[in-house]
């Protein structure tokens, strides 16, 4: 039989669902960069966002990376 603290250990690592973060990131990119991306083109793996899109859009996202990340962090902390 498993001890209760082993069972509760799982819940310590709970994070915001991946889908919610992708939706927030999608909205922020659309506002900051002005380009629409589909949610299926955003993959979050090991806390890194991978975006499947053209080189020009990736460059715009990279140039605006700081403002995108700042807004995303602000919105995620509001959720928690």
Pick left, alpha or beta for residue 49 (phi over 0 → left; psi -120 to 50 → alpha; otherwise beta).
Answer: beta
CB-CB contact of 35 with 3 (8 Å): no
How confident is the model at residue 71, as a pLDDT? 93
Domains in the chain: boundaries: 16-79
- 0.75 exceeded by pTM: no
Residue 52: band (very low, low, confident or very high) from pLDDT cuts 50, 70, 90: very high
For the chain, percent of residues with pLDDT exceeding 90: 54
Burial class (CB in 10 A: 0-12, 13-18, 19+), 60: middle
For the chain, percent of residues with pLDDT exceeding 70: 76
H helices of the chain, in order, are 4-12, 18-33, 55-63, 65-79
- Strand pairing class (48-51; 42-45): antiparallel
């Amino acid at each position: 039989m498993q001890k209760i603290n082993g069972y509760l250990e799982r819940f310590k690592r709970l994070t915001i669902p991946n889908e919610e973060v992708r939706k927030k990131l999608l909205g922020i990119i659309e506002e900051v960069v002005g380009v629409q991306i589909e949610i299926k083109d955003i993959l979050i793996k090991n806390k890194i966002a991978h975006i499947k899109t053209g080189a020009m859009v990736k460059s715009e996202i990279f140039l605006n990376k700081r403002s995108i990340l700042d807004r995303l962090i602000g919105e995620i902390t509001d959720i928690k």
